[in-house]
Structure 1
Amino acid sequence: MGGLTTDRRPTLATERLRLEPLTDTHTDLLVGLDADPEVLRFIFGRALTREEVVTDHLPRRLRPDGPPRGIGYWAGFEGGTFVGWWTLAVDDADRDTAELGYRLRREAWGRGLATEGSRALLDHAFGTLGLPYVWATTMAVNAGSRGVMTRLGMTHVRTDVEEWDDPLPGAELGEVRYEITREEWLGGSG
């Protein structure tokens, strides 16, 4: 890259949130977030260690191919308080789209922040980047995340049930996929 940094991820603002492009300066905030087993109940079923966050998960969140395309991860702040992260994650199977995701501190749950931050990312995905569609997944039993996806105007398109060596409670009900197209979003369904 020769010293050039191209990051098309803008800082996004909502009524209550400031979403800034995630960098390695946010490492300790991510470690703290992932240290709460309740936050990771539907993802890993347990807390992550600092080493797991720094060695395994942070490099995926800081993929160098995302930012020049305007996608990647954002750290979210309400006032000066870190509340979680949001993502338009790189989709290696379809480079013309991205996966919407979010992970919030427990103290931020139930206040509409996941939906508010996700709306800002969908505005960026469709209004700025012109992506044709965005998708999201969660466990079928994760009523909170499914509610966010529904409030965003996303449509449940399928449920996949897989077999796991060490399944989380509720895994037998599968993982759900939701999608929303650019036309749906710009037409007001979100």
Structure 2
Amino acid sequence: MTYHRRMPVPSPLGTDRLVLRRWRSQDREPFAALNADPEVMEHFPATMTRAESDALVDRIEAGFDEHGFGLWAVEIADTGQFIGFTGLSVPNFRAHFTPAVEIGWRLCRSSWGHGYASEAARRALDFAFDDAGLPEVVSFTSTTNLGSQAVMRRIGMAHDPADDFDHPRLAEGHPLRRHLLFRIRAAGRRVP
């Protein structure tokens, strides 16, 4: 299955409390701060420099152009405050489940505990299945990232231990190398 077809990108996507939209230049500074926060990046190999964070935004925007979907910038609807990203991406490594479309999120610490990740992820799944017509979406994280695993379960994703894998971009013995894979299929999807 390929995900290189271009699909229309609605702009923006909304929920009761959030706006998922394309990136703006003013998002780069708070995004760099988020990516430099050791607590936010605890389940990633390292924090990011400003240059690395800006390069990620450039790749995200290129993904929208290539696929018609991407990791939307997320803001609080009432205030316009940028809090991170949630959305869809195509993993660029080989594994038993690729090619695939992944759902992911990364939010600043001040936005944790408000249900924003689950709310935004549900909206991104609606787009994936209803607008993009994808048959399945996956998500994966290190075995230690209990917060993201809880979001995956809250949005209706299922985990089969037989799908777990060693992330090919992390060296043998790296404490984050083992990853859990979650899946959700359009067919039979129950909206939580």
State TM-score, norm by structure 2.
0.81
* Alignment-derived partner of residue 124 in structure 1: 127
* Alignment-derived partner of residue 113 in structure 1: 116
1:32 aligns to what SS in structure 2? Answer: helix
> Aligned partners of 1:165, 1:62: CA distance in 2, in Å?
32
Q: CA deviation at 1:156?
A: 0.9
> Aligned partners of 1:38, 1:166: CA distance in 2, in Å?
22
Letter of the structure 2 residue corresponding to residue 58 of structure 1: V
Letter of the structure 1 residue corresponding to residue 153 of structure 2: T
> Aligned partners of 1:13, 1:112: CA distance in 2, in Å?
15
Q: Is the 8 A contact 2:34 2:107 kept in 1?
A: yes
* Alignment-derived partner of residue 11 in structure 2: 10
Letter of the structure 1 residue corresponding to residue 108 of structure 2: R
Q: Is the 8 A contact 1:86 1:101 kept in 2?
A: yes
Q: Is the 8 A contact 1:102 1:114 kept in 2?
A: yes
Letter of the structure 2 residue corresponding to residue 77 of structure 1: E
2:89 aligns to what SS in structure 1? Answer: strand
Q: Is the 8 A contact 1:71 1:90 kept in 2?
A: no
> Aligned partners of 1:15, 1:54: CA distance in 2, in Å?
29
Mean CA deviation greater in 144-153 or 14-23: 14-23
1:147 aligns to what SS in structure 2? Answer: helix
> Aligned partners of 2:25, 2:61: CA distance in 1, in Å?
8
Letter of the structure 2 residue corresponding to residue 156 of structure 1: H
Q: Which structure 2 residues correspond to residues 1-190 of structure 1 after superposition, within 5 A?
A: 8-44=9-45, 46-55=46-55, 57-64=56-63, 66-67=64-65, 69-78=67-76, 79=78, 80-91=80-91, 93-94=98-99, 97-157=100-160, 158-161=163-166, 164=171, 167-168=174-175, 171=176, 174-185=178-189, 188-190=190-192
> Aligned partners of 1:138, 1:144: CA distance in 2, in Å?
10
Cα distance change of structure 1 residues 151 and 42 upon mapping to structure 2, 3 Å threshold? same
> Aligned partners of 1:103, 1:115: CA distance in 2, in Å?
11
2:73 aligns to what SS in structure 1? Answer: strand
Residues paired across the two proteins, number: 175
Consecutive unaligned residues in structure 2, runs of 5 or more: 1-6, 93-97
Mean CA deviation greater in 8-17 or 18-27: 18-27
Consecutive unaligned residues in structure 1, runs of 5 or more: 1-5
Q: CA deviation at 1:54?
A: 2.1
State TM-score, norm by structure 1.
0.82
Mean CA deviation greater in 23-32 or 103-112: 23-32
Give RMSD over aligned pairs: 2.3
> Aligned partners of 1:143, 1:122: CA distance in 2, in Å?
21
